[in-house]
Amino acid sequence: MVGYPIGEQSLLPDSKSVERLAISESGFVFDPVSGHSFTVNETGLAILRSLQSDRHLDSLRERLLAEYDVEKTTLDRDLLEYLGSLRDQLARP
């Protein structure tokens, strides 16, 4: 994907961590292993659902570009920030 460094899959949260999440339609997210919960907005929900079904950053980016009115550079910046926050959230003990 243009704009992402080599090893872009390392930008994604651990697949097992994402797969185990219980996600409601309203954006409530529960991690049954850690017991932590958090909420996400519509975009965050779309990202999490995509990560649970497809672990390709290119696919995720293309879906978001098709669904939301956003410039590629803005999407790349915001997506990298969100993925970093998600990795941190799921890594908490």
Is 45 among the domain residues?
A: yes
Domain count, the chain: 1
* pLDDT interval class at 3 (50, 70, 90): very low
CATH number of the domain at 63, please.
Answer: 1.10.10
Give per-residue burial for 3-20: e unless 16+ CB within 10 Å, then b.
Answer: eeeeebeeebbeeebbee
Burial of 35 (0-12, 13-18, 19+ CB in 10 A): exposed
What is residue 68's three-state secondary structure? Answer: coil
Is 2 among the domain residues?
A: no
Predicted local confidence at residue 14, as pLDDT: 86
Burial of 89 (0-12, 13-18, 19+ CB in 10 A): middle
Amino acid at 87: R
Q: pLDDT tens-digit profile of 26-74?
A: 999 999 999 999 999 999 999 999 999 887 888 899 999 999 999 999 9
Is 54 among the domain residues?
A: yes
**C-alpha–C-alpha distance, residues 53 and 49, integer Å:** 7
Tokens of 50: 């995509």
Q: Which domain holds residue 63?
A: 14-91
Is 43 among the domain residues?
A: yes
